[in-house]
């Protein structure tokens, strides 16, 4: 397949720039959803758009057999390196709108607004249908999406700088890592719901110079109505939507919706 746009250079530094995301807490939430909505713990779980494998690794460490699917060879290569020696994980490079597995799985996760990278409602519907095809009857689909509030009020046309120049202590020794800076400019188009991200990465090299790489990514803002319609068209029953890992009810300023849906038989 052709590679996912916008995830080449960033793959090398992706985990450092997203270090504030607590995947252990997120995996606790995933397991709380398993307890709440499945009759028994699933044996095999698909992590769709797994990226560098943060959720895939969390769940593998908790004893689930995992499949990680992603469209980007560079992101998968990072995931593969992190998972070396971990026999429970199969990584596949596939498009989440048309993926194929060897059989069904008990649950599917899709984390960190990966579904917002599908830019047409038809693509979202195709992805949901594939998820339905490969879920056991009554299997669980857990995913999140950025909300319209976040696109309008947080992303908007704002610019940010993300940085990581961590110095950490390992026992007695202090180690310093090369710095990474990421300039991030958003352009949100309310008429199409598309939000463009222009990212400029600056990675410090051993000689103290910086290497610059630019990435362009686009996400789409979906309304709750569109998501519900796409789910029901794919024969997925919406079980709940929350604003955090504590199952809180979303409100007007919620930035991320966490969904649980079940594959109807």
Ligand X SMILES: C[S@@+](CC[C@H](N)C(=O)[O-])C[C@H]1O[C@@H](n2cnc3c(N)ncnc32)[C@H](O)[C@@H]1O
Applying CB under 6 A, among 95, 144, 203, 215 the residue interacting with ligand X is: 95
CB 218 within 8 A of CB 119: yes
Residue 104 phi/psi, 5-degree rounding, is: -90, 165
Applying CB under 6 A, among 17, 30, 44, 111 the residue interacting with ligand X is: 111
| By CB under 6 A, residue 147 contacts ligand X | no
Helix (H) or strand (E) holding 229, with range, is helix 224-233
The interface with ligand X within residues 35-54 (CB under 6 A) comprises 49-52, 54
| By CB under 6 A, residue 117 contacts ligand X | yes
Helices (H), 38-147: 54-61, 73-82, 121-134
Applying CB under 6 A, among 42, 70, 180, 195 the residue interacting with ligand X is: 70
Of 89 and 112, CB closest to ligand X: 112
| By CB under 6 A, residue 55 contacts ligand X | yes
CA distances from 121 to 54, 91, 126, 222, 226 (A): 27, 27, 9, 8, 8
| By CB under 6 A, residue 140 contacts ligand X | no
Stretch near ligand X under the rule CB under 6 A, chosen from 66-74, 169-177, 206-214, 220-228: 66-74
- 117: closest CA among 243, 236, 218? 218
Applying CB under 6 A, among 97, 228, 235, 256 the residue interacting with ligand X is: 97
Of 19 and 249, CB closest to ligand X: 19
Of 158 and 264, CB closest to ligand X: 158
- Bridge-partner residues for 200, per DSSP? 183, 214
**CA–CA separation, 48 and 69 (whole Å):** 5
Applying CB under 6 A, among 16, 57, 59, 72 the residue interacting with ligand X is: 72
Contacts of 41 (CB under 8 A, 6+ apart): 34, 64
Of 2 and 174, CB closest to ligand X: 2
Tokens encoding 22: 């607590």
Which residues are near ligand X by CB under 6 A? Answer: 4, 7, 49-52, 54-55, 70-72, 75, 95-97, 111-114, 117
């Amino acid at each position: 397949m052709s590679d996912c746009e916008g995830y080449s250079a960033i793959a090398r530094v992706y985990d450092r720039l997203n270090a504030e995301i607590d995947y252990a807490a997120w995996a606790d939430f995933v397991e709380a959803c398993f307890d709440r909505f499945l009759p028994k713990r699933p044996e095999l779980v698909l992590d769709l758009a797994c990226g560098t494998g943060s959720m895939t690794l969390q769940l593998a460490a908790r004893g689930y057999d995992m499949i990680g699917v992603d469209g980007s060879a560079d992101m998968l290569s990072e995931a593969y390196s992190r998972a070396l020696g971990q026999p429970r994980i199969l990584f596949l490079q596939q498009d989440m709108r048309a993926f194929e597995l060897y059989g069904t799985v008990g649950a599917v996760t899709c984390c960190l607004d990966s579904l917002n990278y599908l830019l047409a409602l038809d693509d979202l519907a195709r992805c949901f249908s594939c998820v339905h095809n490969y879920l056991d009857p009554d299997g669980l689909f857990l995913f999140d999406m950025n909300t319209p509030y976040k696109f309008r009020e947080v992303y908007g046309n704002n610019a940010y700088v993300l940085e990581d120049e961590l110095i950490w202590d390992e026992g007695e020794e202090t180690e310093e890592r090369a710095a990474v800076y990421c300039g991030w400019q958003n352009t949100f188009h309310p008429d199409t719901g598309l939000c463009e991200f222009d990212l400029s990465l600056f990675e410090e090299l051993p000689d103290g110079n910086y290497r610059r790489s630019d990435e362009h990514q686009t996400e789409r803002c979906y309304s709750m109505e569109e998501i519900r319609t796409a789910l029901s068209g794919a024969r997925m029953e919406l079980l709940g939507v929350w604003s955090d890992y504590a199952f809180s009810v979303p409100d007007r300023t919620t930035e991320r919706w966490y969904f649980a849906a079940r594959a109807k038989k």
